Amino acid sequence: MQPSFWHDKWDAQQIGFHLSAVNPLLIQYWPQLHLAASAQVFVPLCGKSLDMCFLAEQGHDVLACELNDLAVSQFYQDNDLPYSVDKTAEHQRYHTEQITIYQGDIFTLHSAEMANTVAFYDRAALIAWPEEMRVNYAKQLAHLIPIGSVGLLITLDYPQAELNGPPFAVSNGWVMANMSDKFEIECLATNDVLSDNPRFVKKQVSSLTESVYKLTRKG
C-alpha cells in the first residue's frame, strides 16, 4: 500500500473505514487493561477516529499518528477542538489539551516521542496493511512502544481470496506467529460479525470474525 492510496481515499472522502461512533469493543474491553486515568495512550493510524475522544474522556493523554493531513485537521474541526500545529523532525504535530497527533509516516516516527507512553490502541492499523507489509508495521509498533506497555488490538479475519482489502484479513495464527516474540498475547474475544457488515455480505464473503486481544510489550 503506497501512501498515495490513503491520500486518494481521504481526498475523495471514501472513508468507509471511519466509524461514526466510538467502537463498542473499545468501550467493553478497555477497562480490562487496568490503566490509571492519567496513562498516555498511543493510537497508530488514527484517522479521525472518535475512539480518541473516548480515550481522552477516560482521562488519558492521547498520542496518535496519522499519514493524511486532511484526516487530522478534520478530527479537530469535527469535534470543535482548538489546536496548535508545530514541526517536529519529519512530522507536523497537532496538539490540543489531551490529544496530540503526529501527521506523517509512522515508520519515521521516533520512539523518543513516546517515552511516557504506557498503553496503545490499534483498531485500524494492523488490518490496514497487506501481509507483505504487516510484519514491518508490527516491528515498528514494538519499537515505538516502551517495554511493559499494554494495548488493545482489534482484528478482522475472513477468507482473503474472497475479497480484496483493506481491511485485510489477519488471523489468530498470524498474530501469534508474528507478534509473540515482542508481545505477550491474550485473546479476549472472537465474534462472528458477518451479518453486521453488509459490504462483506454483498461481496459474498463466506465468513467474517472480529477478535480482540490484550497485548503486553515484553522486556
pLDDT for 47 equals 93
Q: How far apart are CA 6 and CA 188, in angstroms?
A: 30
State which fold the 125-219 domain adopts: Rossmann fold (3.40.50)
pLDDT tens for 126-185 read 999 999 899 999 999 999 999 999 999 999 999 999 999 899 999 999 999 999 999 999
pLDDT for 20 equals 81
Give all strands (DSSP E) within the chain, no chain letters: 40-43, 61-66, 84-88, 91-95, 99-103, 117-122, 150-157, 183-192, 209-217
Confidence of residue 4 (pLDDT cuts 50, 70, 90): low
pLDDT for 6 equals 47
Q: How many CA atoms lie within 13 A of 213 on its CB side?
A: 24
pLDDT tens for 41-57 read 999 999 999 999 999 99
pLDDT tens for 93-122 read 999 999 999 999 999 999 999 999 999 999
The two most distant CA atoms of the chain are separated, in Å, by: 47
The predicted model scores a pTM of 0.93
CB count within 10 Å of CB 106 equals 17
Domain 38-120 matches domain 125-219 at the CATH topology level = yes
Domain at 38-120: CATH architecture? 3-Layer(aba) Sandwich (3.40)
pLDDT tens for 185-218 read 999 999 999 999 999 999 999 999 999 999 999 9
Confidence of residue 89 (pLDDT cuts 50, 70, 90): confident
Domain boundaries, the chain: 38-120, 125-219
**Mean pLDDT of the region 21-39:** 97
pLDDT for 5 equals 61
pLDDT for 213 equals 98
Q: How far apart are CA 196 and CA 122, in angstroms?
A: 20
